[in-house]
Structure 1
Amino acid sequence: MTSLRNFYIKLNGLSSALLLSRKLPCLITAGNKYTYYSWSSMTAVHHPLLQPVGRCLKSRHSSLHTSSVHCKNYYEILGISRNASQKEVKKAYYQMAKKYHPDVNKNDPGAEKKFAEATEAYEVLGDEDKRQQYDSFGSSAFNNGGAGGSSPGGFRSSGFQYQASVDPEELFRKIFGDFRSQFGQNEPDFAESDFGYKASEEVTIQLTFKQAARGVEKDIKVNVVGTCPKCQGSRCMPGTKAVRCQYCNGTGVETISTGPFVMRQTCRYCAGTRMVLPHPCDECMGKGQTVQRKVVTVQVPAGISDGQTLRMSVGGKEMFILVKVKPNAYFRRQGDDVHTDATISMSQAVLGGATRIQGIYEDITVQIPAGSSSHTTITLPGKGLKRPSSYGQGDHILHLRIRTPSSLTEKQKALFQALAELETDTPGSIAGFARTGDGKETSDPLHAGAPNASEQTAEQQQSWLQKIKKAILG
């Protein structure tokens, strides 16, 4: 007798395929229609010895039977579509597991089977990799070593055998917590959502230097725990309500008798709440609250520095806000003081004057004292940063930078030459001038590297005042 090998695969939208040995044709089924295909050409053929009977093959000379392998539709088990999101898969499993949990249906022998089927379906569809394999090859991909096998997590109930990589009870507790303490203190009183599984505890915000210096109102998106928008906090599906617990008769306490001993404890089904939810809200999982995304406004005080943390209450929960301040090319901060640079001309440095600079809150006019040198600092009291934790403000400290001209006109050069002749405290020498015995600079072509002293002109021997007049008036 030819041995049969059974595989269930997805073939171009066909429901299943029963592959025989390569000596026999291949039977492909689509709904209730059966078609034989040749292995060599994969064209439809009619085999006189084989007739389809249900899901088995029957020979006219000898009976050949296959063991009917049930191709489970996990999507139908959970009641969801094939393109359902992971959140919808989890919600569907939660509803099925709550409905058919063995602790709820102690007198229903079929509940345990449905609970196990739902767990098996979730173990596959709740895992992206397993779900992709299932969509490609069906549940047979898990018959050997996948969701099946001889894992110790398997059990038998009411003639149904389920073998999974984890125990159904353990999987349910891992996802949703202990069923008997679903309203206890160890489990959050809100449900996770697409935005996360808890409220925001720490958020980082980015500020510019001026925002940090002046203070700003910053809008940020955070996760908060709020009333479920679907059930409005009732924890029940719209149109339903909580009912009195039938296990403790609404007392919240159950009595357990063991021989002569009587023990009273909190009801394991309602967890002492006296009420149960026949139809819990599928949005908040019967919690009444969900994790939601909201926009909150943060009041950033003026003068806050980089790395400081703000604390505020959002949705009844305390949240910390870490402040990051971007560096500024103009302002430099040292404590509550702010430092900036100001570039002035040589004339302003020598004769004095005024310049206008950019302040934290407004532009400021600064008086430059005569005789200022480079790196001279001018302090502007009270023009710095506000002190967030106390009163008053720091100072604005201005650093002067003298700009030296890189090129001179003939008139400017004549003026500098005249000035050079009058200098008596020049350290070293000036190009084109020689120092006389009295310490003054004089124009000396010989010392300046002139080719011949006879080339001096009358103009070069004039006094410095005559040079200035000639340079200016011509």
Structure 2
Amino acid sequence: MAKRDCYEVLGVSKSADEKEIKRAYRKLAKQYHPDTNAGDSRAEQKFKEITEAYTILSDPEKRKLYDQFGFAAFDGSMGSGFNEGGSGQGHYYNPFGGGPQGQYREYHFENGDIDDIFEEFFGGGFGGSFKDHFSGASGGRGSQKQGRDLNAEIQIGFDEAVFGCDKVIQVQDGSGVQSLRVHIPAGIDEGMSVRLKGKGNPGMRGGAPGDLLLKVHILDKPGYERKGMDVYTTASIPFTTAVFGGEAEVSTLYGKVVCKIPKGTQSGSKIRLKNKGIVSMKNPSVHGDAYVTIQIRVPTSLTEAERQKLMEYDQLIKRRSSGNNGSHAA
């Protein structure tokens, strides 16, 4: 089955800038993410398609190649030929150059630039003997060269970022799409990257491959807000507990805990739960804190006896306030 156009997959125009492309990807990735569509093979396929499109369009070099040659730039189906020129220059003939049949597009390069030309168009996977022969003929370098790093993005759940997780991602290289298992460390924050050594572009003439830098985006979790290693949440307590003090059960990332509520607690005040925040990526024995904002539950239905008692309390408060005002005036 033919692949859909990358711009069509993300629902953006060919003139879309980097921000538009990223915004479209994040919206679609959130909608079709496997974590929110468990067991839905159609959503899983859609997510792979979205990720592949974004991987291409978010990289300026890949996008330029895609705009010129489509998927042929990445699937190894592009034909090729060389016509060596004098004075250390050459012309790359590409039958997918975008013009009528038989036309070609020229790429000029100086001595020493051949590595970049081969890497751009063949991803380091072109026949070594031909390339070495051409390098010698044109005066190019014969030394090893490390492959370029690749960049990709992944979206994970809030709890997966807190506790760490293993993910399988799909990466497209010169040989096709491959699956990679990635470990996301506990405590990773929004925008951080996981480096996969040796999973980037292959090196030149025996050089080491580059790395894959996987940028992490974290989904929101209702009721929780993260600020660095600290976590903020809310807890609702009865009116009487706020007045007299007592205990309240509070949900944290690590389960429910019982908190002490001081008497006279006001709505909006915060309680600190030490070491109930996010683990440090550098030191697993260090955690941030959790901050619980207290909300007071006002009773919505009262019995007649309860209503009478509250009315008496209200009258007492008013009399005390009036007495204080009178004393002040005197």
**TM-score, structure 1 as length reference:** 0.38
Change (3 A) 1:425 1:291: farther
- 1:385 aligned residue (275, 278, 283): 278
Give the distance between the partners of 2:135 and 2:183, measured in 1 at CA: 38
- Aligned pairs (5 A) from 1:42-441: 93-94=79-80, 123=95, 126-127=96-97, 130=100, 180-181=133-134, 185=141, 201-224=150-173, 290-315=174-199, 316-390=209-283, 391-423=285-317, 435=322
Give the distance between the partners of 1:92 and 1:436, measured in 2 at CA: 92
Give the distance between the partners of 1:102 and 1:385, measured in 2 at CA: 59
Return the offset for 1:340. 0.9
Change (3 A) 1:421 1:221: same
Give the distance between the partners of 1:130 and 1:188, measured in 2 at CA: 38
Return the offset for 1:317. 2.6
Give the distance between the partners of 2:84 and 2:192, measured in 1 at CA: 53
Give the distance between the partners of 2:78 and 2:185, measured in 1 at CA: 47
Amino acid at match of 1:294: Q
8 Å CA contact 1:200, 1:223 repeated in 2: no
8 Å CA contact 1:338, 1:397 repeated in 2: yes
Return the offset for 1:327. 3.0
Amino acid at match of 1:338: V
Return the offset for 1:129. 6.0
Return the offset for 1:182. 5.6
8 Å CA contact 2:268, 2:295 repeated in 1: yes
Give the distance between the partners of 1:415 and 1:346, measured in 2 at CA: 14
Amino acid at match of 1:204: E
Amino acid at match of 1:369: P
Change (3 A) 1:412 1:387: same
Change (3 A) 1:340 1:349: same
Return the offset for 1:127. 4.9
Higher RCO, 1 vs 2 (CA within 8 Å, ≥6 residues apart): 2
Give the distance between the partners of 1:380 and 1:166, measured in 2 at CA: 65
Return the offset for 1:128. 5.7
Return the offset for 1:367. 2.8
Change (3 A) 1:425 1:374: farther
More helix per residue: 1 or 2? 2
What is the alpha-carbon root mean square deviation over aligned residues? 4.3
Give the distance between the partners of 1:425 and 1:333, measured in 2 at CA: 46
Give the distance between the partners of 2:194 and 2:175, measured in 1 at CA: 22
Return the offset for 1:335. 2.5
Return the offset for 1:314. 3.3
Give the distance between the partners of 2:161 and 2:245, measured in 1 at CA: 34
8 Å CA contact 2:164, 2:187 repeated in 1: yes
Q: Match of 2:197, SS?
A: strand
**Structure 1 residues without counterparts, runs of 5 or longer:** 1-84, 104-118, 132-146, 148-163, 190-197, 225-289, 428-434, 440-474
Alpha-carbon deviations, 1:139-161, whole Å to 9, x = none?
xxxxxxxx5xxxxxxxxxxxxxx
Q: Which has the larger radius of gyration?
A: 1
Change (3 A) 1:324 1:426: farther
Q: Match of 2:308, SS?
A: helix
Change (3 A) 1:426 1:211: farther
Give the distance between the partners of 1:349 and 1:370, measured in 2 at CA: 6
Q: Match of 1:296, SS?
A: strand
**TM-score, structure 2 as length reference:** 0.53
Change (3 A) 1:347 1:314: same
Give the distance between the partners of 1:92 and 1:341, measured in 2 at CA: 58
8 Å CA contact 1:199, 1:223 repeated in 2: no
Return the offset for 1:376. 2.4
What is the aligned residue count? 220
